[in-house]
Chains A and B, each alone.
Chain A
Amino acid sequence: MKFRALASIVAALALCGAQAAAVEPDGTLPLNYRPAPDSDEGGLWMMADTLEKNMQASPLLVRDPALNAYVKGVMCKLVPDRCRTLRIYILDIPYFNAAMAPNGSMQIWTGLLLRTRNEAQLAFVLGHEISHYTLRHTIAEWRRARSTSGTMAFLTIATAGLAGLAYFAALDSLMSFSRDEERAADMHGAQIAADAGYDPTQDATLWREISAEETSRPKRDSEYSFTRTHPTTAERLTTMEKNAESLKTGRANWMVGQDACRRAMQPFRSQWLEEDLSLGNYEGSVTLLNTMIADEPASGELRYYLAEAYRRRNADGDSAKAIAAYREAVATGNAPPAVYRGLGIAEMKLGDKITARDAFEKYLAALPDASDRTMVEYYLTHL
């Protein structure tokens, strides 16, 4: 049945030519727009509907009501008239990514939420993705791709019924836009975020930080990278900054929203940092954590994870860097108890038995029922 359905879609797409849609005066998609089912755009929307059903059923979907309400709330500040029609799905995937489907369903990965350090940065990302929808970039890409082998790949993947990273990453790869469309989404997205009162300078700030993290890592062709489809070129950043200067005129008070964003993300941050470290991209993690620490120097949690990045990277000199970071985490007075466990391991590897013993004993005193107690006791007896 799936093959027959696919064949029908392909046949329908081949028969139907491009169909012009009515647009709002500003060139954007009308509210409550839905293309005719027998149009090529209707076929594309049908596939996007399938993707949306897969997202709704995916084990990666983050269902936390408070987090979803916060992210959706930011979107609704940007486009209040589209608040009821656009849908956001947060997926627990530790890479920086967001993508808009042509039917108005957006996916945001937790790796992006980890890296947006204030509400304004999140608003500019959402504005960019909403613009791809309202400017109907996906159908433009689809019509370009229709004459290539990419069509079949898109159909196959979009209707595959999978629910993991392979599915979402493959779709993301196929749904990349042209440089001109990215530039248009940057400009239009920045406009709607600025119109909602968000500080326009945060757009380029976010992209500079993402670019810095990306370039701090050794080049790894094999891993997912959002910047491959969204290259942060010097020209793009310069354009963003010039645009921000222009948007900033005529208004004094701009919203950054650091506290609100931090409150919304805090319950998940430890989990997301663990997931980021589990990727083994320790160079990128060190850059990310140093950026976050610059914002929150008193965070024992962030300093603990910076120390963990050094300890797990395990390169020459990393034990000493880890020890320094663990100690800075302890000094904040709010680090998790695991800071002593990590400190003990790092000191043990450098041969400082007395300090290692002290750290392990502090860990067990802080967590007497620790699930790894026998392991720490083993370390203590083998110092």
Chain B
Amino acid sequence: MNRFLIPFGLFVVVVGFLAVGLTLNPRELPSPLVGKAAPEFSLPQLHDQGKTISSNDLKGKVWLLNFWASWCGGCKDEHPVLIHLAQSGVVPIYGMDYKDQRNEALAWLKEWGNPYSVVAVDEPGRVGINYGVYGVPETYVIDKAGVIRYKQIGPLREDILEKKILPLVRELQNQ
């Protein structure tokens, strides 16, 4: 065995790991909340300030909770994906307008389109803290019993939707 080959051998191992590492998603952080009951909230609605939306109203169906804000660049990136999903009607998306100005949020939705069934307003960001939001956008899949089943940090992409979220949603809906 040629000892001058050792550096090459070590390098091959490192490259192997780097290659596997590339296929992994560093944004996919395990959340302590996955598998636990979604924190409850009752907040004013964005479009109709007089009405409130509560997490209890949503028991019995599978739904997505999407934290977004008009000031957030990543939300713009994932927006077409949400619109597409909303049009398919597979699962309702509830928006959580996070630390945002009401008029700016309304203008944003008017300009780019509104994928949300209802948007709740979390101006002080309290609900965000309860959900352990790292940054917007973040998306949660919540089942019929009100348990968080999945958490996506950062913008949704079509491939994540197809591979992870939609199969999970269908499975949960059939339970």
Pair from one complex: no
Instruction: List the interface of chain B (C-beta within 8 A of A).
Output: none
